């Protein structure tokens, strides 16, 4: 594993597939021009709109998203996490909420279907029922082992509230953990940063959290603050509340230093 720059993209995705892909490409280009070799897009990067519209266009969104991610990886010669996008599930009329990790050759390295679905009545008056359109994944997320970039684990948004998932990634050797999200504005102001810092600290791993921000559609407001966090829980960069990029160094020496100073993973009593 070498030292390199990683970027968390922050977008305001809407219900226009092509408009979202143009925005994503511009921000990926910005990240690469700043030196990023590992780039993550947010949850629902290619489409955020009414659920009925998402389902109606799911096949087209899935196909366009996957082609786009692989094209960007090859064009910019980066490893890229494709945030998440809907993938139709047979004849169920529903989709998976899926992310893929792709290498600079455009080859898929890992694929993960979100297992924890956001079925919540938020105190701001909004109700979310992700399970009404999404089929939960049944497999724990994978860790991709890279000699140059380190061991990369993946998750999606609401997963961040379930520490056992991240302990799994840690047990599998994760050095870097992605958390692409579309966190609600209401919950994000209180929970986003502290949950991400907790996942970084308890697993002594870097956390890269791409995010949605602003008004995506109707009353759907997202929190923003895409961040890169180091294994000590220090926020290395924060994209604020506008579309942009959080970028910071992933440093193996820092990873080793923190794990040496705070060897909590070695002190676990219950496995």
The token pair at 7 is 């970027």
Give 267's contacts (C-beta < 8 A, 6+ positions apart). Answer: none
What span, in angstroms and rounded, lies between the C-alpha atoms of 16 and 179?
Answer: 24
Instruction: Give the chain's end-to-end CA distance (angstroms, integer).
Output: 27
What span, in angstroms and rounded, lies between the C-alpha atoms of 80 and 72?
Answer: 8
> Which one from 37, 43, 54, 70 is the annotated catalytic residue?
43
> Which one from 51, 54, 114, 164 is the annotated catalytic residue?
114
Strands 79-81 and 36-40: parallel
> Which one from 70, 130, 157, 164 is the annotated catalytic residue?
157
- Look at residue 37 and give its three-state secondary structure: strand
Place of tokens 């860790």: 143
Residue 184 forms beta bridges with which residues? 222
Mark whether 189 is an active-site residue.
no
Mark whether 43 is an active-site residue.
yes
Tell me which residues are annotated as active site.
43, 114, 157
């Amino acid at each position: 594993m070498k030292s390199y720059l990683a970027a968390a993209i922050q977008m305001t995705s809407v219900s226009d597939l092509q408009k979202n892909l143009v925005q994503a490409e511009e921000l990926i280009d910005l990240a690469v021009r700043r030196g990023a070799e590992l780039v993550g897009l947010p949850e629902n990067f290619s489409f955020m709109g009414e659920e009925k519209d998402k389902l109606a266009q799911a096949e087209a969104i899935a196909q366009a998203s996957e082609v786009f991610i692989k094209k960007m990886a090859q064009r910019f010669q980066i490893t890229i996490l494709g945030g998440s996008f809907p993938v139709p599930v047979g004849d169920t009329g529903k989709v998976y909420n899926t992310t893929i990790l792709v290498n600079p050759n455009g080859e898929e390295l890992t694929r993960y279907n979100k297992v924890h679905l956001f079925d919540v009545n938020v105190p701001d008056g909004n109700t979310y029922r992700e399970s009404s359109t999404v089929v939960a994944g049944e497999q724990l997320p994978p860790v991709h082992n890279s000699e140059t970039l380190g061991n990369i684990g993946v998750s999606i948004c609401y997963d961040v509230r379930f520490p056992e998932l991240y302990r799994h990634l840690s047990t599998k050797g994760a050095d870097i953990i992605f958390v692409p999200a579309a966190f609600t504005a209401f919950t994000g102001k209180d929970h986003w940063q502290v949950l991400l810092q907790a996942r970084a600290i308890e697993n002594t791993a870097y956390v890269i959290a791409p995010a949605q921000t602003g008004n995506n559609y109707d009353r759907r407001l997202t929190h923003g603050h895409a961040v890169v966090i180091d294994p000590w829980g220090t926020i290395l960069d924060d994209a604020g509340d506008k579309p942009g990029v959080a970028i910071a160094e992933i440093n193996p020496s820092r990873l080793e230093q923190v794990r040496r100073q705070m060897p909590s993973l070695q002190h676990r009593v219950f496995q």
